[in-house]
Amino acid sequence: MKKQIIFLFLMLPLICCAYPVYPQKAESLQSFEIGDFIKLFMQIPTNESKDFIAWDTFVNNENFIWETDGVDSSESDDGLVSYYRNAMVRINVNGLAPMRLKQNWTEMPWTVGYSTTSNPNFGAEVVSIDNECFGYYTTNNCILPPFKSLKRVNINYKKICKIERGNGFETVGYELSSKGLRTIYLLYEQDGGTGGSYETYHLYFRKPENLCES
């Protein structure tokens, strides 16, 4: 019994103390499990603009730190204009969050972006969820497949397409469905290449013609 008490005492720092979050302003945010987070967007009621969501979706959710004033835009080299709005959110996958080694290990928040290349008056047609691991070499928990998390919240997933691009980079498309909720489409990208391991989720509210090429 005495040995058990000593063991529990030694374990207390591991049980009670989570990793710090960087940047610090994200420390107070609740962490979403990835399955729950994706389900939030499946629960948005379908209206006349069923292929889009409003730019102010979750604008009052205290667990989003919005970093874009209104809707911003950028133009690619070939002249394509993209409209976007970004937020900082804490997300975990089966209880694990991406980590970056600074002076000590710190949890990294994710970037959630709404975007469209269509008329911005319609709203956003894509939600991108990026764990921000790309470009850092001292990271951990950067590729964490979401499928157990999706099953836990009763989201069914059906593979539509897959492209292996080499050097650990692959793109896989899925149809996501759950009884009583809108069906959406997930483009799941993961890369274990020389730029550092990372993963990105893109949620579409209508099925792209070539999902894995999107």
Output the pLDDT for position 2: 45
158 Cβ contact list (under 8 Å, min separation 6): 174, 175, 177
pTM of the model: 0.88
Tell me if 7 is assigned to some domain: no
Q: Is residue 2 included in any domain, yes or no?
A: no
Helices (H), the chain: 2-16, 34-42, 147-152
pLDDT, tens only, 81-121:
999 999 999 999 999 999 999 999 999 999 999 999 999 99
Backbone Cα Rg of the chain:
19
Structural domain includes residue 88:
yes
What are the beta bridge partners of residue 88? 65, 111
Assess if residue 107 is contained within a domain. Answer: yes
71 in a structural domain: yes
Domain count, the chain: 1
CA 132, CA 38: separation in Å to the nearest integer? 18
* Residue 63 domain flag: yes
Residue 15 token pair: 């049980």
Q: How far is CA 81 from CA 127, 128, 142, 163, 201, in A?
A: 17, 17, 30, 26, 21
Task: Specify the 3-state DSSP secondary structure of 15.
Answer: helix
Say yes or no to pLDDT of 138 above 90: no
pLDDT tens, residue by residue, 51-91: 999 999 999 999 999 999 999 999 999 999 999 999 999 99
* 10 assigned to some structural domain: no
Q: Give the residue numbers spanning the domain of 98.
A: 21-213
Q: What is the pLDDT of residues 179-213, one digit of tens each?
A: 999 999 999 999 876 666 789 999 999 999 999 98
Does the residue 5 lie in any domain? Answer: no
